[in-house]
């Protein structure tokens, strides 16, 4: 009896040994850190341009404006936060100091601040009010601080870099958790104006000393990058990797095309952030009240930003009262309704998925993982398999016009080319052929009715690793 038990135990052990699970793929190239992953999942958040320019009706003030011009009559940061929350946004970034040097908090390193303004008799602090409102509404809080300062007398001298670092220190230690530090590389006083050589290393060290998790935005990151235009259009090809050695923000930035598309095999993980304004300008102007972008235009921007592996930072400037104008807020709600309706029902949720290859033929990395709602489960192929085909059978004819694909980017961005086909009852017809996927890629196409859809991963830098495929029927605008 004892020998029989030993024999059965050995048999079970050998059976498990023969069915050992395959190892997961190893990361390919540079990958996001966990702070960048948290940032990427935010996807959509609000930019607030607010300051003296709001009251002087200019886009770039010159620092000579009387600080008393800043006097919102009904400023309510809770209204901003409530609007952002209702719009589906996850955070707010505010221009705490624009190029005119005006500080929206009573900085001890400047005499051009809310302290010198007429608002609240100089006793107000916009950053305090907004950071508290963001916490109340469950939003993350970020700050824009321009190193260019057309008001400060030390600008253009060796001492200024430390003054700006002190200003950063003041903000980043006073208002709680800062999820993103937004740096504008502007230094635009011209050949005969003051010239400041910015000490970016000092600035970055100051940020990380107080907010080690913060995503630093600039043309070259290091947390995320500008994607080269203010129209809301990321590249159809969009790598989250880029070579930043030897480049810097502003006039030292890489070429616009590289900012827009990233670089395959780049040495740094610097994902794209798409900044665009809901109005023609960045600051509020009554003359643009009837020029708020249409719902259809905002939807276009969503697909050319979030739908192309980029986060969307949408500027919504408060008016002279210190409130988001009804035209803007109504449009934001209309935009949210369209996006919610577009992605309300995943037609592939209960579909049958099959794949030409799965890693080690194991269910752990099987194609069923593409249909679940768990971010950290994924489908992958064996290391030497750089192409594959995934077929979706809905079980009956479905009508759709959107396809969402997601790579599991904690293991790197890999897919270089893919195509999509549907079955018309007799033959497979191509829907689209594209390049990169990244964190999220959304394809738009004319309405199709079919029972079957398939995705060909045609070229991948390493074995493809996808964690989501979903199909939708969006309203036609």
Query: Which CATH number belongs to the domain containing residue 378 in this structure?
Result: 2.60.120.260
pLDDT in tens, the chain (477 residues): 445 444 444 444 434 444 578 999 999 999 999 999 999 999 999 999 999 999 999 999 999 999 999 999 999 999 999 999 999 999 999 999 999 999 999 999 999 999 999 999 999 999 999 999 999 999 999 999 999 999 999 999 989 999 999 999 999 999 999 999 999 888 866 667 788 899 999 999 999 999 999 999 999 999 999 999 999 999 999 999 999 999 999 989 999 999 999 999 999 999 999 999 999 999 999 999 999 999 999 999 999 999 999 999 999 999 999 999 999 999 999 999 999 999 999 999 999 999 999 999 888 999 999 999 899 999 999 999 999 999 999 999 999 999 999 999 999 999 999 999 999 999 999 999 999 999 999 999 999 999 999 999 999 999 999 999 999 999 988
322, 342, 362 - which closes a domain: 342
Instruction: Please report the pLDDT score of residue 476 as a whole number.
Output: 87
Q: Which pLDDT tens digit goes with each residue over 309-334?
A: 999 999 999 999 999 999 999 999 99
302, 323, 342 - which closes a domain: 342
303 & 404 share domain: no
Instruction: Please report the pLDDT score of residue 301 as a whole number.
Output: 98
Instruction: Please report the pLDDT score of residue 191 as a whole number.
Output: 66
315, 342, 369 - which closes a domain: 342
Number of separate domains in the chain: 2
119 & 51 share domain: yes
95 & 229 share domain: yes
Structural domain containing residue 410: 352-472
Q: For residue 458, is it within any domain?
A: yes
Rounded to two decimals, what is the model's pTM? Answer: 0.95
Q: Which of 46, 98, 130 is nearest to 311 (CA)?
A: 46
Percentage of the residues of the chain whose pLDDT score is greater than 70? 95
Instruction: Please report the pLDDT score of residue 92 as a whole number.
Output: 99
């Amino acid at each position: 009896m004892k020998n029989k038990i030993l024999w059965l135990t050995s048999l079970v052990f050998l059976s498990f040994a023969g069915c050992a699970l395959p190892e997961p793929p190893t990361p390919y190239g540079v990958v996001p850190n966990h702070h960048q992953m948290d940032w990427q999942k935010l996807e959509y958040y609000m930019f607030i341009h607010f300051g003296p320019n709001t009251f002087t009706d200019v886009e770039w003030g010159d620092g000579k404006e009387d600080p008393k011009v800043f006097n919102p009559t009904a400023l309510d940061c809770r209204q901003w936060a409530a609007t952002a929350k209702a719009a589906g946004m996850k955070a707010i970034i505010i221009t705490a100091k624009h190029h005119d040097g005006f500080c929206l908090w009573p900085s001890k390193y400047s005499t051009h601040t809310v302290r010198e303004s007429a608002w609240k008799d100089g006793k107000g602090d916009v950053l305090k009010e907004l950071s508290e409102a963001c916490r109340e509404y469950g939003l993350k809080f970020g700050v824009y601080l321009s190193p260019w300062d057309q008001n400060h007398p030390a600008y253009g001298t060796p001492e200024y870099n430390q003054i700006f670092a002190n200003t950063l220190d003041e903000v980043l230690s006073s208002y709680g958790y800062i999820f993103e530090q937004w740096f504008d590389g502007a230094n635009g006083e011209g050949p005969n104006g003051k010239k400041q050589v910015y000490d970016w290393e000092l600035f970055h060290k100051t940020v990380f000393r107080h907010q080690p998790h913060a995503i630093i935005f600039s043309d070259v990151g290091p947390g995320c990058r500008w994607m080269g235009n203010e129209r809301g259009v990321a590249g159809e090809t969009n790598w989250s990797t880029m070579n930043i050695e030897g480049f810097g923000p502003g006039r030292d930035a890489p070429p616009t095309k590289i900012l827009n598309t990233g670089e395959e095999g780049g040495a740094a993980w610097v994902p794209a952030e798409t900044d665009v304004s809901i109005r023609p300008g960045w600051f509020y102007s009554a003359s643009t009240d009837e020029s708020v972008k249409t719902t259809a235009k905002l939807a276009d921007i969503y697909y050319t930003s979030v739908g192309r592996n980029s986060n969307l930072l949408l500027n919504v400037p408060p008016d002279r009262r210190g409130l988001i104008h009804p035209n803007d807020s109504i449009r934001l709600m209309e935009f949210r309704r369209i996006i919610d309706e577009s992605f309300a029902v995943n037609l592939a949720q209960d579909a049958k998925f099959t794949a030409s290859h799965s890693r080690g033929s194991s269910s752990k990395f099987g194609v069923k993982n593409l249909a679940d709602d768990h971010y950290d489960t994924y489908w992958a192929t064996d290391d030497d398999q750089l192409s594959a085909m995934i077929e979706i059978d809905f079980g009956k004819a479905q009508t759709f016009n959107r396809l969402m694909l997601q790579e599991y980017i904690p293991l790197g961005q890999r897919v270089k080319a893919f195509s999509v086909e549907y079955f018309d009852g007799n033959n497979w017809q191509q829907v689209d052929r594209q390049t990169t996927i990244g964190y999220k890629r959304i394809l738009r196409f004319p309405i199709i009715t079919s029972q079957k859809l398939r995705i060909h991963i045609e070229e991948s830098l390493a074995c493809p690793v996808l964690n989501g495929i979903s199909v939708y029927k969006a309203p036609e605008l």
